[in-house]
Every structure is written in C-alpha cells, then in structure tokens.
Structure 1
C-alpha cells in the first residue's frame, strides 16, 4: 500500500508479518518527527491525533509491533502534518512552487534558461523533500530564481501558475456574462424608449392638430345648428338640401378627420396604458374622472379624486362614462353614417329625434376629445419624465459600464495570451475600472456640451467612450481643473535671495535715495 504525501513521500508496505516495517518506514518516521519538531519551532498548529499517530508508529518500530492499522494511521497523519508544516517554511515552499511555474512557462514558450539555475532549483526541491535544507542551498536557490524571473519578464511568478489561468478564465466568464446582461438591458431599454418616444411624438402632433380643429369645428357646428333651425321653418326639403350644402360638406370633412385623430390619440393612450399595466402601475385614466368599477390605478390617484367628489356623483358618472363601457366607447369614437343626416325614428317611436341631434354628435366628439386630450397630455408628461430620467441618468451609467466591460474583456484576452494576468492585481484593477466607469456615467451629462465641441454626438456615445477609457476622461478632468483653477505661482524674492518682497513704498524710498546719491556724486 502506498499513500502519497504533499512532500513527495510514499508509504511502502512493510517487509514481513513479524511486526518489522521496511527500512523506508523508519526513515519516514524520522522525517515526520523532524516535521513535528519544526512545527513546534515555527508555531505551526498540528492535530493531537496526528502527533499521537506518529508516536504510536515510533513505539511500534521500537517494540516490533508494526501492523496494517498503525501503517495506515501513520501515513495519513504524516500527509496532514507535511501539508500543515510545509518544510522548510511556508514562504520558501511557495517560492519553490512559483519557481517551478516560471521554469515550466519558460520551457513551454522557448525561453532560454541557464542549466545551472534549473539545477539549483531541482536541488532545492530535492532538499525540501528529503528534509536536508540548509543556508547554502537557500542562497543558491534564490539567486537562481532571480535570474529565472528576469529571463521570463514580463511574466512573473503569480501570472505563470495555475491560479492565474483559472482566475483569468473565471474573470472572462464574469465579465462576458456582465456584458451580455448589460447589452440585453440596454437594448431593451432603448427599444422601449424608442417606442414611447414615437408615441409621445404622435400624441404631441395629434393634440396640436385637434386643438386647432376643435375650435374651428365647434364654430362650424354652431353655424350649422342655426342653419338647421332656419331650414326647419322652410320645410323638410330645405333640411335635406342643407345636408349636402358646401358648409355641410366642409363640416363632414373636418368631423371625419377629427374623429380619426380621436381614435389615433386614444390608441396611443391605450398602448401606454398597456405598458404601465404590465409593469404594475395600473391603467391610464383621465385625471378628472373616477376609475371604473373594480379598476385600480396608481398613476391617477383615484382616492384623491374620490375624496373630492360625492359618492352619488361618482356613481352617476360611472354609469355614463364612455371609458367604462366598450359599447359607448365605440359609439363616441366612431362617426355615425350618413354624416349630418337627420336621425331616423325607430319603429314604434312616437317622438323621433330632432334634426339638431346630428349636430349634437359633432359636439359629442369634441367633448370626448377633451377626455382623451387630458389622458394624452397626462401620459405625455409621464413619458417625458421617465424618458428624461432614464436617458439622462440610467442609460449613461449602463453604457459606461458596458464600455468598461468591453475594455476589461480586451485586456483579459491580451493578458491571457501573454500570461500576464495577476489573480489579485488584475481583480483590483478591473473593479476599479468598473467603479470609475460608473462614476463617469453618472457625471458625463454635465460635460456633454463641452465634449461635443459643436459636433453632433450623442451623450450616450460619449458615456460609452468615457467608460471604455475612464482614465483618459479623468485626465481630461484634471486638465479642466488646471485650466479653471490654475496653480498659484509664488512671488520671486529680490535678487534671487531669500526674504519677503519689498513693499511699493520701500521700493520708492530706495529709488529716491539712489537718485539723491547719484546727484551728489555728479555735483562733487
């Protein structure tokens, strides 16, 4: 039976069944006792059961009572002791592993190494395993390791090992997933913003057109109502002739376009209402009307409306509210054909509707437009607020973060190919890059006009570029700070010597004294 240990020690089977272990076992017991002694000197904690197993093994050797149970317990304990002690020291053991990684990298990549340096490393590893470490070996090993590290520059010990390769693959997975998630989020938000922007633009155009058309149509309908009253005096033929008059034809055209705009505006509001309902914000309703029965909405604050109106008034409005009844909604949104024709009496109806009811339908469309207009403007305000907040604050951060992920992935790819990925330093640098990119994304809107320089470029594009090269952006900020707040130049002392500068009065006195002295000298 052979049990491998962390120091390269194997447990052979003992020679015979008389309780005498093989010669290798006795040497292993001596090594294990040396490890325990070294652990005591260096303060390394060991399990009491492992120390007891070594003591039992020594007793078994001395009294010729070695057996399979002692053999298994001893080598299991020796493996744990060797892993805990790491002879001749934890740092030296790590350096031996690092040097092995550097030599392996050099051999795989065709780097020339001195055979004496490789031999020094091999002797050091052999001394570690045989527990014959001494100062001379340590000196020659570290001198050889220094030359090996210089030969494989820029690769260092931490970047040549398995931990670096595993860390690079893990970092690539993390930032790839982050980039994919950010891309999906950015694309989704951009699509939603594009749709709501289009709806907002449509709402603004339709409201502008219908606002102008509503007043014109109102005046035309009033004039037509007066004309109907006058035609009623002349008889039924005059009323029929009035339906196809030039003013009536113009009203029909205006009314048809007005009703079409009403339906388009209501459709835009319904699309936004579907979006708000899907995210749990409720149905869009007119802020001037109560919600429909059983309908809960967050956006229009129905509780505030209910407290401002009596219960009877609300119940009365709910019965006649076209928004709560699909049949009525279709009737008020569509136009009745033929246009401006006198309403026909229903079978058995004793009092047929008067001709003025045809005009009343036009006024009804204007009244319905007021409700739709209130909802549309309310929705448009919400859209503009949300779009402004997302575009100004959220998307720049996401784009800057995405740019940082792109830069980090490129750097990881280059580091992996060159074996220069450091498990600790690269992790810190990548996190700092992402953090800096987020800060840049938050503040990039403040510099968008300054960075554009008169050219048409989206602030989101600037955010992505700044996130990709956040260090360049902070260099730009440093230059901007230097331009706005220049460093103060200290006053230069007179004559290049120390001392405070003279005041203007002292300078004038000195000049006057010099002039007087010069005049006296000239006179003499």
Structure 2
C-alpha cells in the first residue's frame, strides 16, 4: 500500500505529513466527500488518457519507485477504499491527492473537464455561428454589389439622357425653323440676287449649330428618347423600392396620370397623335418635361442610396472582424480539441466582443488612419478580428510613441562662476 516508507521515494509530495512533521496516526481516517469522489473519478479519467496517449515517462519494466507506480497505486488504493464503504485511511487520502497532483502535471494541459468537453464536439455552436455569419456576409455583399450596379446604371442613363435632351432640343429648333422659314422666290419672279440670299439665310438660320433632320427622323428620335425615359424611371424606381430601405423617395412626380402635379399624363409616345411637324415638336417638348421630372427623381434616389450605403458600410467592417475572429476560433479550438485540452472560458467569448469593437473602430475611423494602406478597410477589419493581439500591440506601441513625444522639462542652466566670467575670451 502506497504511503509507507517505500512510497516516500516517489516524487516530492509529502502531503500525508502533518504539520508537526510526524506521520499521520495509522488509525486516523476521513469520510469520502462528494468532492473526493468527483476528484477520484477525474483522476481515473486522466489516468486512462495518460495510459492511452503514453504520457507517463518511460521507466524500467517492473519499477516500483517510479512516478507511474506511485500514481497508479495511490489512485487504485483510493478507489478500493471508497468502494469499500468505510472511512478512508488518512494516509490513503493524502497519497491520492499527491498522486492526483502529479498526474495533472503529467497530462497538462489536458484535464478531466477538457476530456469531457473535447469528446462532445464543442465547436458545433461555433460552426453554426460561422455558417450564419458567412451566409449573411455573402448575401449582404451580393446585395451591395447589385445596389451599386443599379446605381451606376442610373448614373449612366442620366448622362446619356442629358446629352440626348440637348441633341433633341437642337433637332427641334432645326425642324421648327424649317417649318417657319418662307419659301424661296422663283427665279422668274423678278427677285434680285440680294433678296434671294436674304430668303435663303432666313430659311437656314441656325443650320450651322443644329443637326439637319426631317420631321420623320425627329419623330424617331423622340420615340427613342421616350423609351430611355421609361427605362430610367423603371431603374430608379427599382433602386428606390428594393434597395433604399427606410429612406424611400416619393414616386408621385414620376407617376404620369391624371393626378400628376404638372398634368403630365403619359410617358410613352402615341403615334396616332402625330399628324404634322408641329405635333412632333410638341411631343418632343413633352418628353423633355417628362425627363426633367424623372431626372430629379433619379438623382434624389441616388442621394438616398449614397447615404444608406455609407451608413451600412460603417458597420460592415465589424461583421468582417467577427468573421476573422471566427476563423481564428476554428483554428485554435480545433487544435485544442485534437489535444483533448479544450475548456470553456470567458476569454473565448470575450475575443469576439473585442473583434466587434475593433472592427467598429476600423469602420468609423478607418478613413483617418488607413488612407495610405494597401489593403481595403474590410480586409484590414478581417485581419484585426483574426489577430486582435497584434491590433492591441500596435495600439500600445502608438500610445508609447505618443508619450515619448511629450517634451521633458528642461534642465536648469549651469551657473558660471564669477571668476570665470571675468576672464577675457
């Protein structure tokens, strides 16, 4: 039985010596408490792990004085005493605690609690968190990408329609001038050459700056202009309704019916109302007025889009920082589970809160200190979440440099003895 003289050659664990230095009384005994029973079960788990993983130091076969024999005997003796249902000899209990301490050092960082947690696949919750977070990031990235694409398309359509409106206006002026110009006198009418030149100048005024088109060509241009007006309105309305949550723009100015504020009741060209060149000109004016309302609406939608995107973009780095922290957690926890050393700790969840704070800082103040960075803010936020320790070390270094720049109080000027001051240079 361990605890006699032969056991004292084991590692220095004189836990079974009383305060006076004398051995415990042989008839002294203690009751097995719940803590003792639980610790004994934990010790048996660790003993099984140490035996399966070869944690014990290599010793000669049959050695009685080694760590292996000492630990095994102490645990087996404690188990036999507990199962016997009688009070446990004090030296047996003391030997158990000493052996448990040695066994814990041998299996460190593995503990009975980490063995139990590691066998339960503790990263299931982390897997679910990463799946949800990654799905959100992917969906949100697609949402932002589509939103920016539609906003870019709206800007391009506005630019094209601005140029088309100027061209249409020039063509309208030409057709109107042509319709209002007097007919040239016939050669046999008796008109002088000067009079004929004056008629020609009146008929072709503005011809140098206006494109020469026929009424039919102008009508085709008006139809195309109307088609793009409709396209611009539909695109801006889509951007307004589906991508600008909470900051919608009133669509009443681009609803062309009897309730329109300026009485613009239609957006499409109706061929049956076109009977003459003046009808084509009037329709062109109508389409330009329609375009002005659509352009104002589209530009208001663009401003709301810029504001909403800027607000959301400030929080996106925090999400990427959480994703970086989750990647580090997977890598770290998988290693601990493989080593059977995983344990629950408040530091594990604290890391995610730290990453969230650091990502928020990058999102809010990244434009101030990341202007010359080769990486975009989202990539920096991801790296910050993955390596929060490096982020805080940089902050500590910055604070130390800031402190070092504080000017130290100047040293007092040395006093010159009067005898030296009197000497000539």
- TM-score by length of structure 2 reads 0.73
1:108 is the counterpart of 2:75: no
Who is 2:306 aligned against? Answer: 384
1:483 is the counterpart of 2:401: yes
1:265 is the counterpart of 2:232: yes
Kept in 2: contact 1:221–1:359 (CA 8 A): yes
Kept in 2: contact 1:87–1:93 (CA 8 A): no
1:413 is the counterpart of 2:368: no
Partners of 2:248 and 2:407 in 1: how far apart? 65
Per the alignment, in what secondary structure is the counterpart of residue 419 of structure 1? coil
RMSD, aligned α-carbons: 3.7
Deviation at 1:438, TM superposition (A): 0.4
The structure-2 alpha-carbon separation of the partners of 1:375 and 1:164, relative to structure 1 and needing over 3 Å to count, comes to: same
Gaps of 5+ in 2: 1-29, 57-66, 186-210
Who is 1:403 aligned against? Answer: 324
Per the alignment, in what secondary structure is the counterpart of residue 317 of structure 1? coil
Deviation at 1:486, TM superposition (A): 2.2
1:152 is the counterpart of 2:74: no
Who is 1:88 aligned against? Answer: 32
Match of 1:118 among 72, 82, 85: 72
Who is 1:33 aligned against? Answer: none
Kept in 1: contact 2:362–2:377 (CA 8 A): yes
The structure-2 alpha-carbon separation of the partners of 1:186 and 1:502, relative to structure 1 and needing over 3 Å to count, comes to: closer
Partners of 1:188 and 1:360 in 2: how far apart? 48
Deviation at 1:121, TM superposition (A): 0.7
The structure-2 alpha-carbon separation of the partners of 1:482 and 1:450, relative to structure 1 and needing over 3 Å to count, comes to: same
Partners of 1:217 and 1:489 in 2: how far apart? 69
Kept in 2: contact 1:98–1:157 (CA 8 A): yes
Per the alignment, in what secondary structure is the counterpart of residue 111 of structure 1? coil
Aligned positions of 1:268-283 closer than 5 A: 268-275=235-242
Give deviations 1:119-167, integer Å, cap 9, x for gaps.
Answer: 111111222232321321122112211221222233234323x24533x
Partners of 1:366 and 1:142 in 2: how far apart? 93
Structure with larger RCO (C-alpha < 8 A, sep 6+):
2
Deviation at 1:183, TM superposition (A): 1.0
Deviation at 1:359, TM superposition (A): 0.8
Partners of 1:380 and 1:357 in 2: how far apart? 34
Who is 1:211 aligned against? Answer: 162
Match of 1:187 among 131, 138, 143: 138
1:137 is the counterpart of 2:92: yes
Deviation at 1:291, TM superposition (A): 11
Give deviations 1:143-200, integer Å, cap 9, x for gaps.
Answer: 211221222233234323x24533xx24x11111111111111111111111110111
Kept in 2: contact 1:220–1:251 (CA 8 A): yes
Kept in 2: contact 1:448–1:462 (CA 8 A): no
Who is 2:362 aligned against? Answer: 444
Give deviations 1:379-427, integer Å, cap 9, x for gaps.
Answer: 111211111112222x11111111111111121111100011113x2xx
The structure-2 alpha-carbon separation of the partners of 1:87 and 1:365, relative to structure 1 and needing over 3 Å to count, comes to: farther
The structure-2 alpha-carbon separation of the partners of 1:192 and 1:318, relative to structure 1 and needing over 3 Å to count, comes to: same
Partners of 2:70 and 2:51 in 1: how far apart? 15
Who is 2:296 aligned against? Answer: 374
Who is 1:470 aligned against? Answer: 388
Partners of 1:405 and 1:211 in 2: how far apart? 49
Kept in 1: contact 2:317–2:378 (CA 8 A): yes
Deviation at 1:118, TM superposition (A): 0.8
Gaps of 5+ in 1: 1-85, 235-243, 293-314, 323-327, 345-353, 492-500, 520-524
Of 176-185 and 438-447, more deviation after overlay is shown by 438-447
Partners of 1:412 and 1:108 in 2: how far apart? 22
Kept in 2: contact 1:158–1:422 (CA 8 A): yes
Partners of 2:262 and 2:164 in 1: how far apart? 29
1:228 is the counterpart of 2:179: yes
Who is 2:16 aligned against? Answer: none
The structure-2 alpha-carbon separation of the partners of 1:200 and 1:357, relative to structure 1 and needing over 3 Å to count, comes to: same
Per the alignment, in what secondary structure is the counterpart of residue 420 of structure 1? coil
Partners of 2:367 and 2:93 in 1: how far apart? 60
Partners of 1:152 and 1:489 in 2: how far apart? 53
Deviation at 1:283, TM superposition (A): 7.4
Per the alignment, in what secondary structure is the counterpart of residue 114 of structure 1? helix
Deviation at 1:208, TM superposition (A): 2.1
Aligned positions of 1:278-293 closer than 5 A: 285-286=250-251, 288=253
The structure-2 alpha-carbon separation of the partners of 1:151 and 1:486, relative to structure 1 and needing over 3 Å to count, comes to: same
Kept in 1: contact 2:118–2:342 (CA 8 A): yes
The structure-2 alpha-carbon separation of the partners of 1:256 and 1:316, relative to structure 1 and needing over 3 Å to count, comes to: closer
Deviation at 1:288, TM superposition (A): 4.9
Partners of 2:394 and 2:411 in 1: how far apart? 40
Number of residue pairs matched by the alignment:
359
The structure-2 alpha-carbon separation of the partners of 1:408 and 1:188, relative to structure 1 and needing over 3 Å to count, comes to: same
Deviation at 1:109, TM superposition (A): 1.2
